[in-house]
Structure formats: C-alpha cells, structure tokens
Structure 1
Amino acid sequence: MALQHTVVFTLAHAAGSPEEAAFLDDGRRILSAIPGVTDFTIREQVSPKSDLRWQFSMWFEDLAAHEAYTAHPDHVDFVASRWATEVAKFQEYDFVDQP
C-alpha cells in the first residue's frame, strides 16, 4: 500500500533569503536521492489561514520503504544538522489511500 509522507513547516530564515533557498534546494537534493523516495515535491502555502509556509511531500511504495527512508543516514543527518536548527515549526503527516 503506497504511503504519502508530508511535512509542512516554517523556516527560521527570512522569506526570500539565500538561507531559505539553500535549505529548500538542499532538502530536495538530499532527500529525493534516498532510495525509495518517489514524486518528491516542494510546495509553498498561499492561504492566510496557516502560518506554516512550506511543504515537502514524497511517496513510498509501502510502509517498509518509508521506514527505511526514516533510518537512512542521509535523512538522519539532514534532520540533525539542518531540520533541527533551521525549522521553526512543523507538522508531519503520513497518509495511505483507503479502498
């Protein structure tokens, strides 16, 4: 059963800053290269109803592929070295389709 993993977040960096661009670019480059990740996208929130500005979304073939991604050294390093220090606030969601 396919799984969509998504995180919606706000960065500690100023909107439009080089630091913001670098985080988004590095996130795409590093996370999309991890085995099992498909359809990696970055979206920007445009509704004033949410203060969370960015979304990373990706698909996995199944829960096992998602678990392998979570434990992958590149993911672990990105979370520790970038996410933990550059993300001000976030929500994480994992969805599977219902029959």
Structure 2
Amino acid sequence: MIRHTVAFTLRHDPDSAAEHAFLADGERILTGIPGVLDFAASRQVSPKSDYRFQFAMTFADQAAYDAYNAHPDHVAFVEQRWAVEVAEFEELDFEPLGA
C-alpha cells in the first residue's frame, strides 16, 4: 500500500471561485482515475505551515501508483491545471512500516 500526499498552495486568492474550482475539479478528475482509493482533500489549519491544502490518496501497490501517474487524465491535470495554478507544493509518498 502507498499513501500519496501532496501539500500545496494555490496562486488564487483565498476562498475565490478559482480556488474552489481547482479543488473541486482536482477531486473529480483524480478520483475518476482507476486505482485511486481513499481520496481526501484537506485544508491546512496549523500556522506552522505555509501550505494551504492537501490531496491524499491510497494505492494498493506500486503498479497502481505507476498506472495513476501515467494515466492521461492525471497527466493532463498536472500539465493544464497544476503547473499553472499551484504556487508551491511538497509531495510525500508513504508505505506502512513493515511492508
């Protein structure tokens, strides 16, 4: 199992229509890709981080994660939306200890 997470800040004004659209479109597009499990979109509440949001999802194994990364909908989202609308991000991928 792999837990894929990405914390990010958008270029959009907080609580703007563009911010809401990105978050909604991201969830709709990414959850439509086969192999994505347990998707969660979250808002940062701690003052310890400058990132405002997080997308997190689980994959059964490395093959499912690789298929997600190569999927045309993921590639298009990254190229057309993420690269344009995300100001900063940090991606972290985890697997359970002892796996």
CA drift of 1:60 comes to 0.3
Equivalent runs, 1:45-84 vs 2, <5 Å: 45-84=44-83
Unpaired segments ≥5 residues, structure 1? none
SS where residue 83 of structure 1 aligns? helix
1:37 aligns with 36
Q: Which amino acid in structure 1 is aligned with residue 22 of structure 2?
A: F
How big is the shift at 1:20?
A: 0.2
Per the alignment, residue 94 of structure 1 pairs with: 93
SS of 1:84's equivalent? helix
- Alpha-carbon separation, structure 1, partners of 2:24 and 2:9: 15
1:20 maps to 19
Match of 1:8 in 2: 7
* 1:85 equivalent in structure 2: 84
How far the C-alpha of 1:76 sits from its partner, in A, is 0.1
The Cα RMSD (Å) is 0.4
- Give the CA deviation at 1:65: 0.3
DSSP 3-state at the match of 2:80? helix
TM (norm. structure 2) is: 0.98
Alignment TM-score, normalising by the size of structure 1 = 0.98
Could you report, residue by residue, the CA deviation over 1:24-76 in whole angstroms, capped at 9, with x for unpaired residues?
A: 00000000110000010001110111000100000000011000000000000
The 2-side partners of 1:90 and 1:62 are apart by 24
Percent identity, please: 59
Q: Which amino acid aligns with 1:22?
A: A
